[in-house]
Structure 1
Amino acid sequence: MRWAAAFTLGCGAVLINPNPWPLWLAVPMLLMALWWAPLRGPVLALLLGALLCEWQVAQRLAERWPASRHGETRQVTGWVSDLPTSRPGETGAHWRFRLTTDADARAAGLPRQLRVSWYDGPDTLAAASCWQFDLRLRTPRGSHNPGSFDYEGWLFRERLGATASVRDAVPCAIEVTGPRAALLRVRAAWADGLARHLGDHPGTPYLAALSVGDGRGLTDGHWRIFRETGTSHLVVISGLHLALMTGLGFALIRVLWPLWPAAALRLPTPLAGGVGAAVLATAYALMAGFEPPVIRALLVVWLGLWLAWRGGWRQPFRALALIWLVVVAWDPVRLLRPGLWLSFVAVAAIVYLLAFRLRPRPGWRQFVWLQVALGLVMLPLTLGFFSGTSLIAPLANLVAVPLFMLLTPAALLAGALAQLDAGWVTPVVHGVASAFAAVDAGLRLVTTLGDGVWWQRTPVWAISVLALIGAMLLLAPRGMPGRVLGLLCMVPLLLPRGVERAPLTLTVLDVGQGTAVVARTPHHTLLYDAGPAWTGGFDAGDAVVVPYLQFRGVTRLDRLMLSHADRDHAGGIAAVMAAFPHAERLGADSARPCVAGQRWQWDQVRFEVLHPPAGAGPPGPRRNDQSCVLRIEVGAQAILLTGDIEAPAEQALLRQSDRPLAAQWLLAPHHGSRTSSGGAFIDAVRPEVVVFSAGWRHHFGHPHPWVVERYARRGIRSWNTAQHGALIWQFDGQPGLGDPLAWRLNHRRRWHAAAAP
């Protein structure tokens, strides 16, 4: 176990370091191992973990498309190497898929794997089909914010060296061959068979997901239900499903093998059962796509069966440590996946509880206590990884787990039958799908009973680890000294941490080409604009704004102020209002429009709307100039949020002599376009800092070089979310402004792109 811990520590040291691991450290570590015998094994394991992980990380980074060639168009031949997803477009389907490039493309320096978007593409796109594309290639880069999805990290984990969009495409004259392509075609045919028999039946997504790992039919609404009920693990093929197939295979062979006496004499029934279990689990993993998480789970199954054959499970924690060591060594980068930690901690907790803690009870009572105890153990990890936990997960899993264990084999059988065209097949498949639809309806009903998710400001990992130790102490056998300390260990995790200490904390989120600003006082929260959203694509409200607010422990959004109705400012509003339905609306598309002179005060912070003037009327063709302009004042410091105003609105503000315009901090009007930030306006505001909220190398070209130079010529410091990620300032009311916490600079990992313009 010490070796497994040391190996993991070595891998972790590489993954959390923003710079390459210093190889010179290997020399003193080797000397320490040679000199100090008691630490020789752990030190060597730590060194081996660090070196192996560094090699893996360097390999993946070497495959990435360089930023210097971002936007380059190349002709690429490759094949669609996953089940492509689609959504309707204006003149055709919009497709997304993984493209595996051919040997010629790789020899020319292209990555082996690309994530490709094909807008207005053909009506059908076959899995494992070969194409010759003209692709516009982009270096891996995404928004960089506290608490939000790490898109760059996901591309890194999935070994996707670039993203690309299709400019032109011609089918290849040859068919892709090989086992991967053949398996992919089988999975696609399986999914097509289900769709042919079921159509739009609400149970179809469940059958496809659990039989062939096809999650294309699961919508955002499904995933929201799974998060709120803590049942996501039941619809993603993982260790639970492979363990179920393993048990089913073992039971079937155990019953059927003795019926063949000659074979039973040559191969003992328990050993034959183990072989059958391994074969069935492997077949299921292949049908699920043999993706890395499934491979990891299959490794666990194989090792578990091998240890059972060798008698290794007499020491269960040593067996788990060995399995962990093999899984991490197979791919150290998988340590970045929360699922790896959650699954192993859950298994270790189950072993601990069943083997050493829980006394035998009637079956249902044992299962209930196990769910409650698992909920307690998993609480620190779910809060640490996701900033929240489902309060109804133990209850939901109490019912859902047995149902899914019964229905998963039925889904496999239904998927196999769906490949037949016999008339009796459709009613059978419909019956299984209806059972899943009933489960779906039950999960949705549970979520309507109240708010089942507890959102808490993401704790530092020391607090999560301390709480995990506390949970294990609370579940320790009676009579063990120090059990009461478990309660004390849990206290820091449960304390509310959503209150800001500074008089005002201002966060400009990195939402790409758009705007979203969060202003927080000790007891109130304002959101100024909700970021962009594009039909069927990126939604900053769902992907950035709401996760950030949950990450910071915000449970109540007091006011949502929408500067104007352009999609890059208002696109994310639906997701924000769904998460915070009681937020007061002010500005565009609300019953209370912005009018100059509106004022309010929260704590020590004063807010005043400076524009548009009363009587401005509804927005016309130049609605940018009717953006809400908000001035925030705390002590001797002031902030000016300007929306998308352009030169005419700036001139109107200059003519308002009765309202102060000066501010030390300025959000550049209209993202720094050349139609805004006039010299007279800048001179009137006299900012110390200007912030551009823009997309990285976006085709709009914001901020315009003339505007950047105009601010620089006046000695004004500039920051750009496209370059620096989310920007966080704390205002104390005293004169002068320091530098912000720039998320891309201060929370960078090896796989994150540099803060380059």
Structure 2
Amino acid sequence: HLSIVCFLFFSFFYWSLSFNSSLSISGKSKKIAGILTIIPLVIYAVFSGFSPSTQRALIMIIVLMVSFIIEKEKDILSSLSVAGILILIIDASALFAISFQLSFVAVFFIVYGIFLFHKVSFMIKKNIFSSILMMMAVTFFASMGTLPLTAHYFNMVSVIALISNLFAIPVLGFIVLPAGVISLVSFSTFPLFADFMITFCGHLISFLMIVSEFLVSIPYSWTRTTTLQWIEIVAIYLFFFSLFFILKGRRRLSACFLALAALLVIFNFSTNQMGKPLKSNLNITIIDVGQGNSALIQTPEGKTVLVDGGGFPGMSSFDTGRFIVAPFLWQKGIRSLDYVVLSHPESDHLNGLIFILQNFDVHRVIKNTDVRDTKKYEMLIKTCEERDIKILNPSRKDHLLDFGITKLLFYDALPHVSYDFNNHSLVFKVIYKQFSMLFPGDILTHREKNLSVRKDLNLHSTVLLSPHHGSVTSSTPFFLEKVSPESVIISCGWRNRYGFPHYKVLKRYTKMGIHIFRTDKDGAIFISSDGKNHNILT
């Protein structure tokens, strides 16, 4: 992103040319500077990879530069509109690209923000101090303009950006980028010098990363947010417009924008209240995390319980917690969790929970007594210790979490049933009046038999989460007869390497008249019950 922003380097090139004394007299300096600046712009765009975001930035800057050449610089809004239309003609889907939205909003706010800045700072003497103020103003207006979109797409707001960009943009734009271009040009003739310049650039970038990491480690330098709805984003921008016009002295227009923003806020609040699930309903979502398990339980009492977080084994860099589970929770406006349940410490259940524990207010973690000598498990335990999250291990006897009407009943968490960690999974049932759902984790045949033969257990459940993702080593006929579910939900990855769900298991479900739902085909699965009836949506 900074590399694209550092097209600003070429504005410095344009500025230096436009103030050439001999050309200024003839009035041609700005036009010649604009034409000469377009050439390195195109070269830079090509050598930087010419990605779609770079293409859009290039088109925008060329259009703006042409507006200066033809002396239409005062009509900046029209120039931005022309650039936007050209980009959309080439690629209509760019309208939905995050970089497209951020780029145009940032430029729009910078242009009109600087207009206000010049209006209030005309008395400031032109010197280094005024240049620093201008740079701070550019950063401030760009940050304010993109704030609602970053909160919507990335669920975070940075308050340290004003400080970090003050040194990051100049260092990258006026030192690293020019040095990189010089290295590129001189490589064939002066390879040693080019090597020195690239090494120098590398050290500067490493330094920037170290400083950035330090800045974001400062408490309250940034914060997580729930996902802003589009109607909320529009209301925020209307409020910004209201501030802009009141600073311009156009109070009536400012009042109109402010009134529109207030109406949108009221409308959004009322529709959200109407659209919320009934508080008398139990809502369970089986989140599609690929080959793994993750579920969110929302009780009528207002309790939120996250069961597992999905995850991929080995060296996979894809974090299901960061890219799937957390955005889903933020989309629902959830920032705290009463309980996080780890059925057992295997990667496809555990790995995604680390990000959740680090970025949400979690009151308690429930897990079995298994301990794993893995990096992810150690990170989970360390995170719980650092954030003072209590860990509950259900006792060997059946353990009950009583929320009032809703109950979570954990069945005999007996250790060392077998040498397979899957068999040690926590097994629990969510009970809400006449509705119930069984979460058996990844238990296998031995554990299923262990549960089924107990006469004091009532395994019967309305809905069953398929044990071990529909593996042939689970869902034995005797166990299914004891549970006797109306529906079964299989959480598995599309065309996963394990062949889940096994065709024999699917045949067994069908033969017993059990309705089958699968995350690999249906995506996330939503269950809602009033305690008597229930609905399952995909």
Summarize the Cα distance change of 1:653–1:501 in structure 2 as closer, same or farther, 3 Å threshold.
Answer: same
Q: In the alignment, what sits opposite 2:419?
A: 621
Matching residue within 102, 114, 120 for 1:342:
102
What is the CA–CA distance in structure 2 between the aligned matches of 1:433 and 1:739, rounded to whole Å? 54
TM-score with structure 2 length normalisation? 0.82
- Give 1:634 deviation, angstroms: 1.9
What per-residue deviation string (whole Å, max 9, x for no partner) do you get for residues 63-120 of structure 1? xxxxxxxxxxxxxxxxxxxxxxxxxxxxxxxxxxxxxxxxxxxxxxxxxxxxxxxxxx
Q: Indicate yes or no: 2:221 matched with 1:456.
A: no
What letter is aligned with 1:449? I
Residue 479 to residue 308, structure 1, CA distance change in 2 (3 Å): closer
CA distance in 2, matches of 1:373, 1:269: 29
CA–CA separation in structure 1 for the residues paired with 2:183 and 2:269: 48
**2:12 corresponds to which residue?**
248
1:713 lines up with 2:491 in the alignment = no
- For the pair 1:669 / 2:448, whether they are aligned, the reply is no
- Residues 414, 656 of structure 1: CA spacing in aligned structure 2 closer, same or farther, 3 A cutoff? farther
Map residues 480-491 of structure 1 onto 2, 5 A cutoff. 480-481=251-252, 482=255, 484-485=258-259, 488=262, 491=265
AA of the residue aligned to 1:714: M
Unaligned runs of 5+ in 1: 1-232, 743-757
Question: Is the 8 Å Cα contact of residues 473 and 485 (structure 1) preserved in structure 2?
Answer: no
Other-structure match for 1:737: 534
Q: Give the conservation status (yes or no) of the 8 Å contact 1:470–1:490.
A: no
Is contact 1:627–1:645 with CA below 8 Å preserved after alignment? yes
Distance 2:467 2:480 in 1: 10
Whether 2:365 is the aligned partner of 1:585: answer yes
2:96, 2:430 → 1: CA distance?
40
Aligned counterpart in structure 2 of residue 514 of structure 1, from 292, 296, 300: 292
Q: Secondary structure at the match of 2:496?
A: coil
Question: In structure 1, what is the Cα distance between the partners aligned to 2:12 and 2:139?
Answer: 23
Deviation at 1:701, TM superposition (A): 1.7
Q: Does the C-alpha gap of structure 1 residues 707 and 318 become closer, same or farther in structure 2, counting only changes over 3 Å?
A: same
* Residue from 184, 188, 211 that aligns with 1:442: 211
Using the TM superposition, give the Cα deviation of residue 339 of structure 1 relative to its aligned residue in structure 2, in angstroms.
1.1
Deviations along 1:669-706, one digit per CA (max 9) or x if unpaired, are 11112222122222222222210001112232211222
Counterpart residue identity of residue 241, structure 1: C
Confirm whether residue 393 of structure 1 aligns to residue 161 of structure 2.
yes
**Alignment check: 8 A CA contact 1:390 1:453 kept:** yes
Contact 1:469/1:489, CA 8 A, preserved across alignment: no
Specify whether residues 487 and 336 from structure 1 end up closer, same or farther in structure 2 by C-alpha distance, changes over 3 A only: closer
Aligned match of 1:383 in 151, 155, 175? 151
**Does structure 1 residue 525 correspond to structure 2 residue 304?**
yes
* Secondary structure at the counterpart of residue 284 of structure 2: strand
String of CA shifts for 1:418-440, please: whole Å, max 9, x gaps: 77777676666555444433332
Task: Note the 1:597-746 alignment, pairs <5 A.
Answer: 597-602=398-403, 604-613=405-414, 616-617=415-416, 620-732=418-530, 734-740=531-537, 742=538
- Deviation of 1:660 after TM superposition, in Å, equals 2.5
Of residues 486-495 and 331-340 in structure 1, the stretch that sits farther from structure 2 once superposed is 486-495
* Aligned residue in 1 for 2:234: 465
Distance 2:404 2:238 in 1: 39
The alpha-carbon distance between structure 1 residues 455 and 605, as it changes in their structure 2 partners (threshold 3 A), is farther
Contact 1:418 1:429 survives alignment (8 Å):
no
Distance 1:334 1:456 in 2: 26
Whether the 8 Å CA contact 1:638–1:664 is kept in 2: the answer is: yes
Partner of 2:321: 541
Higher helix share: 2
What's the counterpart of residue 79 of structure 2? 319
After superposition, the CA RMSD in angstroms is 3.4
* C-alpha separation in 1, matches of 2:77 and 2:520: 47
Q: Which amino acid aligns with 2:486?
A: E
Preserved contact between residue 310 and residue 320 of structure 2 (Cα < 8 Å): yes
Deviation at 1:721, TM superposition (A): 0.3
- The one of the two structures with greater contact order (alpha-carbon pairs below 8 A, sep at least 6) is 1
Q: Which residue is equivalent to 1:406?
A: 174
Distance of 2:191 and 2:500 partners within structure 1: 60
Pick the aligned partner of 1:552 from 332, 345, 366: 332
Identity, % of aligned positions: 23
Alignment map for 1:36-47 (pairs within 5 Å): none
Counterpart Cα distance in 2 of 1:415 and 1:445: 30
Helix, strand or coil at the partner of 1:553: coil
Q: Is the 8 A contact 1:644 1:669 kept in 2?
A: yes
Instruction: Tell me how far apart the structure 1 counterparts of residues 455 and 222 of structure 2 sit (CA, whole Å).
Output: 49
Task: For 1:279, give the aligned amino acid.
Answer: I
Q: Does the Cα contact within 8 Å between 1:677 and 1:707 map onto a contact in 2?
A: yes
The TM-score with structure 1 as length reference comes to 0.60
Residue 276 (structure 1) shift: 1.4
Letter aligned with residue 577 of structure 1: L
Q: How many residues align?
A: 497
Matched position secondary structure for 1:662: coil
Change (3 A) 1:489 1:372: farther
Q: Does 1:566 align with 2:335?
A: no
- State whether residues 179 and 197 of structure 2, in contact with CA within 8 Å, keep that contact through their aligned partners in structure 1: no
Within-5 A mapping of 1:75-474? 233-234=1-2, 237-238=3-4, 240-242=5-7, 244-254=8-18, 268-355=28-115, 359-361=119-121, 362=124, 363=130, 364-365=132-133, 367-368=135-136, 371-413=139-181, 415-416=183-184, 430-474=199-243
Counterparts of 1:302 and 1:375, CA distance in 2: 23
Following TM superposition, by how much is the alpha carbon of 1:576 offset from its aligned partner in structure 2, in angstroms?
3.1
The structure-2 alpha-carbon separation of the partners of 1:378 and 1:301, relative to structure 1 and needing over 3 Å to count, comes to: closer
Q: Check the 8 A contact 1:249/1:280 in 2, yes or no.
A: no
Instruction: Work out the CA distance in 2 between the residues paired with 1:537 and 1:385.
Output: 20
Q: Unmatched 5+ residue regions in structure 2?
A: 125-129, 372-380, 382-390
Q: Which amino acid aligns with 1:307?
A: S
Change (3 A) 1:387 1:681: same
Q: CA deviation at 1:289?
A: 1.0
**Structure 1 range deviating more: 552-561 or 716-725:** 552-561
Q: CA separation of 1:357/1:484 partners in 2, compared to 1, >3 Å: closer, same or farther? A: farther
For residues 400 and 717 of structure 1, the distance between their equivalents in structure 2, rounded to whole angstroms, comes to 57
The answer as to whether partners of 1:664 and 1:737 remain within 8 angstroms in 2 is no
> Deviation at 1:657?
2.6
How far off its partner does 1:528 sit? 1.5
TM-superposed CA distance for 1:345, in Å, is 1.4
CA contact 1:612–1:628 (8 Å) conserved in 2: yes
